[in-house]
Copies of this chain bind each other. A is one copy, B any other.
Amino acid sequence: MTEVQAKKPQESLQDRLAQVVDLLNRHHLVEELAHRQEGPNQARVENLVHRQNLVKLQRRLDELHPADIAYILEALPLDDRLMVWQLVKADRDGEILLEVSDAVRETLLADMDDHEILAAAKELDADELADLAAELPRDVVHELMESLDAQQRERVRSVLSYEDDRVGALMDFEMVTIREDVALEVVLRYLRRLKELPGHTDKLFVVDYDGVLKGVLPIKRLLVNDPEKQVAEVMAADPVSFHPDGDAYEAAQAFERYDLVSSPVVDKNGKLIGRLTIDQMVDLIREEGEAEVLNMAGLREEEDIFASVWKSVGNRWAWLAVNLVTAFLASRVIGLFEDSIEKLVALAALMPIVAGIGGNSGNQTITMIVRAMALDQVNTANTSRLLRKELGVSLVNGVVWGGVIGAVAYLLYGSWSLGVVMTVAMTLNLLLAALMGVLIPMTLVKMGRDPAMGASVMITAMTDSGGFFIFLGLASLFLL
C-alpha cells in the first residue's frame, strides 16, 4: 500500500514530469560538457556535479507513487526512460511494471536481465504475476513458478488459464472470509488479529465449511450493527457475484451500474474462488474506450508515443494496406467513366464532394451504432427501426445539403441538369452511407469481430466507390 506516497494532485502530474525532465536535462548538459573538455581535473569536477544531479533525481523518484513514475516513464523518450528506470529502487520495479502500458513495459523488460526481472516479480501477488507472465521470458516464468508455494502457484495457473477478456483473468485472491454463525463481535476481533486488510475491502465474504459463498457482509453493516448480532442476520444473502468464465467487460458494466467496490467470483458449484475490485474494472472501462477509438481509426493497438518509426509502421500498415486496395477499387470505378469525364471535366471536380460528404455522414452513423452496441442497446428486435431512422436522417441531409451543393454546381457551371444530378447523387450516396453504417458493424459482430474494427476505413471505402459510381453513372446517363 502506498497511500501516503501519493502527493496531493494539486501539484499536477505535469509539474512532476517537468521536474524530472529538468533534472534529466541538467544531467545531459553536464555529460555534454564532460565530453567536450577532457582534462583530468575538469572531469573530476564534472563527475561530482553529475553524481549530485543523479542523487537528486533518484530522491525525487523515491517520493513518487508508482503510478506517477509509470506516467513519467511513458512520457519520456527511450534513452531518458531507461535512465530513469535504472534509478528506480529495485523493490518498486514490479509495481511500476504493472502500471505502465504494454508498449512501454516491453521497452523496460528488454532492458532488464533475468535476475532483475525475477527480483521484481517476487514482490507481486499471484494475480499480478499472472498479468505480467505473458510478457516475461519463458525461463524466467518457469523459475518464478518454482519459487512459489503450492497455493500461489495454483492461483497463478488458474488466472493464466482464462482468456484476457474473462472475469477469471482479472480476479485477485485477497478475500477476507468469515462464517455466518458467529457474532459481529467475533468478526471484529478476527479482523484486528489480521493486522492488515487488503485494498478495496468493502465487504467480507461469508462462506460455509465447503467454501461455498453464503452471502457478503458489507463493512458498513459490520460497523453500524449491534456486535451481539450474528453474521447471518446482517449479511446480504443474494449478492452480485461473477463466474470466472464470464465476460470481463460485462462485469465492469455491472460494477458501474450497481456502484460496486468489490465482488465475489464463484465457480459452478457456488464455491468462492476469488474477487473482482473496482480498480481493475476502471482500467478495463478505460481500455475499452481506448480500443474503440483506436480500432475505428485502424490502429492495431495503443502505441508508445516514442516507439521507433518501424514499430509504428508495423502497428498501422495493415489498415493502410486495406485502404490502398479500396482506394484502388474506387479509382477503377472512376476509370470506367473516363470517357464521360473527358467530355465533361466538371464531373472530376464535383465527384469528390459526393464521396466526401457520404464518408463523413457514414462515419457519424457508424460511430453512433458502435457506441450503442458497446452499451448493448442494439438487438435484432430494433435493428429495422434504427435503420429506418438513419435512412430518414440521410434523406433529410441529402435533400437539404444536396440541394445546396446542387445550386452551387448550377451557379458554377451554368447547367441546371448538372445541379439536379448532383443533388440526386448526394442523396443516394448518403442513403448508402446510412445503410452501410448500420450493416458493417452488425456484420462484424455476427462474424464474432469487434464492431469498431477499421470501421472508418470500411465505411469510407463504400462511400467512395459508391459515390463515384452513383454520380458518374447518373451523369453519363442523363448529361451526355
Chain A residues in the interface with B (C-beta under 8 A): 3-4, 6-10, 12-14, 17-18, 21, 65, 67-68, 71, 74-75, 77, 99, 188, 191-192, 194-197, 199-202, 218-220, 223-226, 236, 238-243, 246, 250-251, 253-259, 261, 278-279, 281-283, 285-286, 288-290, 292-294, 296-299, 302-303, 305-310, 312-313, 316-317, 319-321, 323-324, 326-328, 330-332, 334-335, 338, 341-342, 345-353, 355-357, 359-361, 363-364, 366-368, 370-372, 375-379, 381-382, 385-386, 389, 392-393, 396-397, 401, 404-405, 408, 412, 456-457, 460, 464, 468
Contacts and interface: CB of A to CB of B under 8 A. Distances in A.
Contact of A379 (B17, B348, B460): B17
- Stoichiometry, as copies per complex, reads 2
A376 B13 contact: yes
Point out which of A219, A290, A361, A367 has the most chain B C-beta atoms below 10 A from its C-beta: A367
A409 to B, nearest CB: 9
A387 to B, nearest CB: 11
A367 to B, nearest CB: 4
A67 B257 contact: yes
A352 B371 contact: no
A393 B363 CA distance: 25
Most chain B CB inside 10 Å of its own CB: which residue of A17, A199, A316, A345 = A345
A403 B289 CA distance: 36
Contacts of A8: 238, 240-241
B323 A357 contact: yes
Contact of A312 (B191, B192, B323, B389): B389
B10 A243 contact: yes
B250 A9 contact: yes
A197 B242 CA distance: 26
25 contacts: A4-B238, A6-B254, A6-B257, A9-B254, A10-B243, A10-B246, A21-B381, A71-B375, A71-B377, A74-B377, A196-B220, A196-B224, A201-B220, A296-B367, A298-B360, A299-B368, A306-B386, A309-B389, A309-B393, A313-B396, A334-B349, A348-B351, A356-B460, A360-B457, A363-B456
Contact of A393 (B238, B316, B326): B316
A401 B299 contact: no
A328 B196 contact: no
Given A8-B238, A309-B389, 19 more contacts: A7-B240, A8-B241, A13-B250, A21-B381, A65-B257, A68-B257, A71-B375, A75-B377, A192-B226, A200-B259, A202-B202, A219-B219, A286-B289, A305-B382, A309-B396, A320-B361, A335-B349, A338-B346, A352-B468
A149 to B, nearest CB: 24
A57 B398 CA distance: 41
A126 to B, nearest CB: 18
Contact of A258 (B65, B296, B312, B386): B65
Contacts of A243: 10
A253 B236 CA distance: 32
A414 B306 CA distance: 41
Contacts of A456: 360, 363, 456
A99 B280 CA distance: 22
Contacts of A236: 3-4
Contacts of A253: 13
Contact of A259 (B21, B255, B279, B341): B279
A364 to B, nearest CB: 5
Contacts of A285: 282, 285-286, 289
A360 B309 contact: no
A349 B468 CA distance: 10
B334 A393 contact: no
A305 B352 contact: no
A25 B20 CA distance: 63
A328 to B, nearest CB: 6
Nearest to A242: B9
Contact of A331 (B71, B321, B330, B353): B353
